[in-house]
Every structure is written in C-alpha cells, then in structure tokens.
Amino acid sequence: MRNSATFAPVIAVLFWRLATKEAVVGSMILGFLSGVAWYHLGGWSPDAFYLNVHPVWIGMSVNILTIIIITLLQEVRNLAFNFSFVDARVGHYALTAFVVILSVLVINFETIHHYGLTGLLGFTAVLSLFISTVVYIPKTKEQAMIKQTLAKAK
C-alpha cells in the first residue's frame, strides 16, 4: 500500500516542479484508498486479486492520475505549454507510447488479462501519459517568461 500512496509524489517532486502540495496530498490519499478498496474487492486475498490485477497497479495509477488532474485544475490559468517538435520530442514519444499501449491492451485484452498483465500495462500507459504531461506542461507562464527574458539577455 505504501507504493500506492507514495509513487507519484516522489516522481512529481523529482521531475515536475509544477505539481502542487494539494495534488501530492490528494494523490497519496486516493492512491492508498484505491489500493485498499481493490484489496477489499478481492476478498483481502494475498494472491488472488480482483480482476486478476494487483492492487499496487491500481493504487499507483490512481496516484499518478490524481496528481495530474489536481495540479492541472489548480494551475489551469497559469500553464505554459510546449509542443515543439524539437524541445518536446520525449513528450511526443511518451504520448505515442500511451496510445500504442492502450491500443494493445484493448485489442488483446483477453490474452493480456489471462497472463495477469492488465494492471502492469495499464500502469505503463498511465506513466507514459504522466511523462508526456510533464514534458508538454513543464512550467507556469511566469516561469516561461523569466526563461525567455534570461535567454534574450544573453
């Protein structure tokens, strides 16, 4: 359960300065609660999980999605976007990976579910979405203007 509660906040602190304190706390709470709820749905079994998906994949996915949604909602008027083909290349790759992984998951759901890989691939898709978000929305408008001003001064 600790992974469900702490994964996204640690990643956000390391890689996404835009993440807010409220988003971090919210993601920790919702990540933990979703993992516990998933265990409950599975009858608290340590080896037979609800829908054959380990609760940590659910918790960490909810954790990441929560931090993205709360941060974007709180900073919606102050976001600076970067969709440049040069500067945001990693974001384009991550978004492409998100679409590909989600497509593979939907098209081959029965096989993937049979092997117990649904949670892992779902989490990987969410993580790809987080990476693209971090690359596409790296800072606020104010931070972007400061960077432009410093670049012009050089």
What percent of the chain shows pLDDT beyond 90?
A: 56
For residue 33, count CB atoms less than 10 angstroms from its CB and return exposed for 0-12, middle for 13-18, buried for 19 or more.
Answer: middle
Amino acid symbol at 101 = I
**pLDDT, tens digit, 9 for 90 and up, residues 118-129:** 999 999 999 999
**pLDDT, tens digit, 9 for 90 and up, residues 36-61:** 999 999 999 888 899 999 999 999 99
Q: What's the token pair of residue 48?
A: 């037979």
pLDDT in tens, the chain (154 residues): 566 667 777 777 777 888 888 998 899 899 999 999 999 999 998 888 999 999 999 999 999 999 999 999 998 888 888 888 888 899 999 999 999 999 999 999 999 999 999 999 999 999 999 999 999 997 766 766 776 677 777 6
- With contact defined as beta carbons under 8 Å apart, do 4 and 39 qualify? no
